[in-house]
Amino acid sequence: MSLSALLQLLALSALWGASFLFIRLASPQLGPTVLAGMRVGLATLALTALMLLLRQRWPWAHWRSLLWISVMAVALPFVLFAWAGLHLPSSYSALINTLYVVFGCLFGAWLKIDTLSTRKVLGCIVGILGIALIVRLGPIDLTPPILLACLACLIGAACYGLATPLTKKALTHLEPLPVATLNHLGAFVLLLPVALPAVPQAHFSVQALGVVSILGIVTSGLAYWWCLRIMRHISNAAALTPAFMIPLFGVLWGHLFLDEPVSWTMLLGAALALVGVALISELKWSWGEQQTDANATP
């Protein structure tokens, strides 16, 4: 993987790590469904503007397959993580999200897109043990709402894991921008009926509107398209690099800006989770070399 690709993935990790902080700030004010709906709507507007500017064609012939990606990669996880943000520190959400690599590995093998090796199975076990350690011995009390929020994050991570092989398949014959745009448009259509009834209860403060604007336009729209563009030019293993760094940024931003507690057991669990991700991804650094296969996507 080239230094340029690595630095781009590092920047994406910082953005996506910050998204958990933004969710924690905005969800109590807007509510989970309104936050998710506005986030997806703004992302759709930004990506549609790019489609028009770059004169890209809409992949309407593939809307059925892309709709499944809309559900798994956008609609469901956005609502689940937004609801978890009502109860759970952003650092917890970011760390539990690391398990999407475990689910991606398992779903990839189930769909016969990838194979399970002994190293990957060991990585899955270590990663699960790390997250279990965080949840069980972390610095917050395990009340029923906290446990339900952890479960919501776990299901959200599973959605991302299933979306990974589906997105890989779509990118073999479609350009990244149309895939990103139609995914968000489909998710917006699905979320609109559940978001509209909750609008009267939402508190549209300046802070909430600013946060959801960043979430929608930057971390959901532009960053997602950016990620798909990078994924076409690096190896499958290298494309999993953000899984190492997103939780680290998530914990850092939560601690710096929300004063969220961090314990040694939480750090130990995070270390185990990252070791699990490393085992699963089988990442090998190759400085000065870059994959050029346009179909090499995670």
Q: What is the pLDDT of residues 243-282, one digit of tens each?
A: 667 777 888 888 888 888 777 877 887 788 778 777 776 6
Position with higher pLDDT, 271 vs 137: 271
- What residues have CB less than 8 Å from 227, skipping those under 6 apart? 12, 242
From residue 215, alpha-carbon distances to 15, 26, 138, 222, 261 in Å are 9, 10, 27, 10, 24
| Average confidence (pLDDT) over 220-232 | 85
Residue 290 clears pLDDT 90, i.e. is over it: no
| Average confidence (pLDDT) over 85-102 | 87
State the pLDDT at residue 30: 96
Q: Which token pair is 128?
A: 């699960």
The pTM of this model reads 0.84
State the pLDDT at residue 203: 95
Where does the pLDDT of residue 286 fall: very low under 50, low under 70, confident under 90, or very high at 90 and above? very low
| Average confidence (pLDDT) over 33-43 | 97
Most confident of 8-22, 43-57, 134-148: 43-57
According to DSSP, the residues that pair with 233 across neighbouring strands are 296
Residue 289 clears pLDDT 70, i.e. is over it: no
Residue 234 clears pLDDT 70, i.e. is over it: no
Where does the pLDDT of residue 189 fall: very low under 50, low under 70, confident under 90, or very high at 90 and above? very high
State the pLDDT at residue 276: 77
Rg (CA), the chain: 18
How close are the terminal C-alpha atoms of the chain, in Å?
A: 14
Nearest to 33 by CA among 67, 83, 74, 73: 83
| Average confidence (pLDDT) over 131-138 | 72
According to DSSP, the residues that pair with 296 across neighbouring strands are 233
Is residue 93 within 8 A of residue 154, CB to CB? The reply is: no
Lookup result for tokens 């030019």: 233
